[in-house]
Amino acid sequence: MRSSTRYHGAPEAFMTEQEPAEFSESEEPEQGVPDKVSSEEPQEFPDSSSVEWLNKFKDGDDVAFERLVDQELPRLRRRVEERLGVDLRRRIDPSDVLQQAALDVYQLREDFENRGLPAFRGWLRTITMNNLNRLIEKELAQKRDPRREKRRALEAGR
Q: What is the pLDDT of residue 48?
A: 61
Which pLDDT band holds residue 158 (cuts at 50, 70, 90)?
A: low
- What backbone torsions phi and psi does residue 4 show, to the nearest 5 degrees? -120, 150
E-strand ranges in the chain read 4-7, 15-17, 35-36
Task: Give percent above pLDDT 90 in the chain.
Answer: 44
Instruction: Tell me the whole-structure pTM to 2 decimals.
Output: 0.63
**The total number of residues written for the chain in this structure:** 158
User: pLDDT digits over 60-94, tens only?
Assistant: 999 999 999 999 999 999 999 999 998 899 899 99
Residue 5: beta bridge partners?
16
Rounded Cα–Cα distance for residues 22 and 37 (Å): 12
- Alpha-carbon distance of 124 to 66, in angstroms, equals 13
Q: What is the pLDDT of residues 3-21, one digit of tens each?
A: 444 444 444 433 333 333 3
Determine phi and psi for 16, rounding to 5 degrees: -115, 135
Spatial CA neighbour of 104 closest among 118, 119, 88, 125: 125
35-36 sheet: strands from edge to edge: 15-17, 4-7, 35-36
pLDDT band for 107, please (50, 70, 90 cuts).
Answer: very high
Domain with residue 37: its CATH number is: 1.10.1740.10
C-alpha torsion sign, points 136, 137, 140, 145? negative
- As for how many domains the chain has, the answer is 1
Name the residue range of residue 101's domain: 4-156
Contacts of 65 (CB under 8 A, 6+ apart): 57, 105, 106, 109
